[in-house]
Every structure is written in structure tokens, then in C-alpha cells.
Amino acid sequence: MDFRDTPPQAAFRAEVRQFLRDEFSGELEPGAAGMAAWRKKLVARGWVAPAWPKEYGGAALGVMDQFILNEEFAEARAPQVGGLGVAMAGPTLIVHGTEEQKQQHLPRILNGEVIWCQGFSEPGAGSDLASLQTRAVRDGDDYVVNGQKIWTSMAQHAHWMFMLTRTDPAAPKHRGITYLLVDMKSPGITVRPLYNMADRHDFNEVFFDNVRVPAANRVGEENMGWYIGTTTLDFERSNIGTVVGHMHTLRSLSKYVAEHRDDGRTTVAWDRAVRMELVDRYVEARVGRLMSYRVISMQAQGRVPNYEASMTKLYSSELTQRIAGTGVKLLGLYGQISSSRSKHAAMKARPTKQYLYGVAITIGGGTSEIQRNIVAGRGLGLPHD
């Protein structure tokens, strides 16, 4: 790995830093107006979807420039916008969508007018996604969809869903799947909330009862949805935003300890093991950053980080849980308070909330078990059985 920026990369990093100094004071104006104004500034530079081609509102940045942008935004704690529309729906439409679909959806994704959700996982098809059974039957100019999706993030707010459906039940499971775009206001759709341990409503169950979806909303060919659903553009996959966030969290914990070590609001004053544990988390965060640098260095060389990206995701997500556990230990009995509204909440209960929410971190985006299988099979060459 070469840790040095090339002259063009150094110039771009300086541009990003200057933009952040000029346009971001550390926080946005409260409410939707602040986020809208921030998004407008990013849209003007093509930085909402920096990897998208310029003709579709992106900046056509290469992987290293994307990495620099993400790293500097993370260091400044500046919010990036986009969501699943930018990360998944948009790239799929750019590659496989019709011109009408692109014109209808891409500008609204960039401008934040539309929120998207992903209809992939089902109660019987999570890690083995190709076993999905939600049916879509062609009826004239429509598909009639029946079935259920689960763990659908933010479906309660979404305007549109991109989903995989079974259109040929007789075909091998990776075939016979069709990719559809579904208006969430369509009759027959029911969204039911799923609350997690942190009492957050992020996930949902979504039920489809004879939902009619125009065939014009199909992306690509019928029965080819599995291959369309795997489409990505050349996004950087270093996870740098998460690893920088780890260091921010650890600095906040250290600051709290320094301010409260003698007033009984932290265990660090008397528990040497907890102090050493905090140091271990710092070391691990540094290791995580080096793993991210490895992934981006491979991409910059035109290589595809396969098991390396899985290693980074696995390590980073499990480190998130370890950092949360250390934070709760540092807070002692105050670490049991999960409400930020309590006058006794330490650090506004952020470590406790992170601890409760951390279970989901090693599940979403591919479970730790799946990542280990990828590392074992593709990295170490171990047999599947």
C-alpha cells in the first residue's frame, strides 16, 4: 500500500476540505430545511452520487477520489445523503433500466424527493436469498404480486421499493426471478413495524395481497432479476466511514472518562482492566483503518477486493459491538440507562443505544457467518463441506 496521495489526489483532498470549511460548521440547521440545503450543495458538485456518470447527475469519480471524499466527510462528521436510492436502485437503473425509468427516477433520487426501500429478504429466504417465494404472475400489462418481505429497512417512509419476485417457480432457484419497481402506495401493500432491542423502528414486514405492478416497472428481462440485482457500479468498498466513526466514538469515550474519572460516573478510575480494554479498542480501530486502506489500494490497482472486503466488513461490524461493550463498561451503572432524556444519562446514552443496536450490525449487509464463509472459501481455499 502507498499511503501517499498523488498530486491530483492531494489537490482533490484539499478541495474537499476547503468545501467542508466553507459550507459545514459542524452541524446542519435543524429540521428538514437544513438537510435540504445541504443536499442542494452536494447535488451541485455531483457529490450525492459521486460514482454515477455525469450525465445522470454524478461526478464520475474514481475509487480513490470516492475514498478521499468519504474519508474527509467522515473526519468532519459531515452527513452524506442518498440512501438505498443512490446506493442500489440508481446504479441498477443506470445499467439495466430503460430511458423512461432513468428519467422518471434518477433525478428524484438525487434531489431527495423519493425514499427507496429494498424488498429482498423473506421469512424463509434471508442468507439463502435465491429461495425467495414472493410470486409475480403476469396478467396483461401488469404483474400481480403476492407474498411477504421482511427486515425491510425504512419501508414505513419509502415511496418506492425495488424488489425481487419469483416469476417461474419451475426454474432453478437463481433463475425465474424478476426485478420490479413497486410504488409503495399501490393497493394491497401492508407495512407492519418490527421494533428492535433499542426500541427503534427501522425494520418492517411488508405484505403483498394481489398488488398490481405495471410491466413497465420491470427492470431488465423477465426471469433475469437475480443477475440484475447483483449490479453495482465501481463504488469504493473500503468501509472508511465506519472505521473513522470508530475513532470518533473512542475519542468521545476518552473525553468523558477524563472529565468524570473522579466523580463516580465512570469505572475507569478504579478498574485497570477497563482502562486496558479502552486501549485495545484504540489499537483495533487503527487496524480496521489499515484494512480499509488495503481494500481501496486493491481497487485503485484495478483489482477486485473479494474476501478482503468481507474481512473488512466482518472486522468492522464486530468491532462496533466491542466498542459499544467497552463504552457500557466505562459508564458503570449509568450504562444501563438507555433514554437520552434521563438527567442521569451519561453521554446522552449513546454507548447504551449503540450496544443495543449493535446486534443488527453483524446481520445487515451479510451476516458475520456469511462473511466468514467467503473468507474461508475464497480467501483460504477451504472446502464448503
Say whether both 225 and 246 belong to one domain.
Answer: no
Q: What number of CA atoms fall less than 13 Å from residue 55's CA on the CB side? A: 4
The answer as to whether 309 is a domain residue is: yes
Q: Give the residue among 191, 194, 205, 202 at the shortest CA–CA distance from 159.
A: 191
User: In this model, does residue 385 exceed pLDDT 70?
Assistant: no
Which helix (H) or strand (E) element contains residue 22?
A: helix 7-23
The answer as to whether 58 is a domain residue is: yes
* CA–CA gap between residue 92 and residue 218 (Å, rounded): 12
Say whether both 250 and 337 belong to one domain.
Answer: yes
Give the tens place of pLDDT for each residue, 209-251.
999 999 999 999 999 999 998 887 777 889 999 999 999 999 9
Say whether both 246 and 371 belong to one domain.
Answer: yes
pLDDT band for 200, please (50, 70, 90 cuts). Answer: confident
The answer as to whether 260 is a domain residue is: yes
Among the three residues 38, 66, 81, which one is the final residue of a domain in this structure? 81
Say whether both 133 and 193 belong to one domain.
Answer: yes
What pLDDT does 203 receive?
Answer: 92
Residues annotated catalytic, as ranges: 236
Rg of the chain on CA atoms, in Å: 22
Q: Which three cell numbers stand for residue 373?
A: 464463509
DSSP character string of 213-230: EEGGGEESSTTBHHHHHT
Which stretch of 141-155, 173-187, 349-363 has the lowest confidence by average pLDDT?
Answer: 349-363
The answer as to whether 107 is a domain residue is: no
The answer as to whether 92 is a domain residue is: no
What pLDDT does 269 receive?
Answer: 64
Give the whole-number percent of the chain exceeding pLDDT 90: 77
Q: What's the maximum distance between 2 C-alpha atoms anywhere in the chain?
A: 73
**Average pLDDT rounded to a whole number, residues 94-121:** 96
What pLDDT does 191 receive?
Answer: 98
CATH of the domain at 42: 1.10.540.10
Say whether both 315 and 354 belong to one domain.
Answer: yes
Give the tens place of pLDDT for each residue, 318-334.
999 999 999 999 998 99
Say whether both 329 and 255 belong to one domain.
Answer: yes
Q: What number of CA atoms fall less than 13 Å from residue 150's CA on the CB side? A: 11
Give the tens place of pLDDT for each residue, 248-290.
999 999 999 888 888 888 887 667 888 899 999 999 999 999 9
In contact, 150 and 123? CB cutoff 8 Å: yes
The answer as to whether 89 is a domain residue is: no
The answer as to whether 22 is a domain residue is: yes
Give the total number of structural domains in the chain: 3
Say whether both 350 and 309 belong to one domain.
Answer: yes
Q: Give the residue among 42, 178, 55 at the shortest CA–CA distance from 119.
A: 178
* CA–CA gap between residue 50 and residue 314 (Å, rounded): 25
Among the three residues 229, 261, 296, which one is the final residue of a domain in this structure? 229
CATH of the domain at 158: 2.40.110.10
Say whether both 195 and 139 belong to one domain.
Answer: yes
DSSP character string of 233-276: -S-----HHHHHHHHHHHHHHHHHHHHHTTTTS-STTT-HHHHH
Look-up of cell digits 451479510: 366
Say whether both 66 and 128 belong to one domain.
Answer: no
CATH of the domain at 341: 1.20.140.10
Q: What is the domain extent for residue 262?
A: 240-379
In contact, 210 and 168? CB cutoff 8 Å: no
Say whether both 253 and 223 belong to one domain.
Answer: no
pTM value?
Answer: 0.89
Say whether both 212 and 161 belong to one domain.
Answer: yes
In sequence order, the 6+-apart residues with CB closer than 8 A to the CB of 261 are 268, 269
Q: Which three cell numbers stand for residue 248?
A: 470518533
Give the tens place of pLDDT for each residue, 46-59.
999 999 999 999 99
Q: Which three cell numbers stand for residue 161?
A: 421499493
Among the three residues 190, 208, 229, which one is the final residue of a domain in this structure? 229
The answer as to whether 141 is a domain residue is: yes
Say whether both 249 and 353 belong to one domain.
Answer: yes
Q: Which residues is 207 bridged to in the sheet?
A: 148, 190
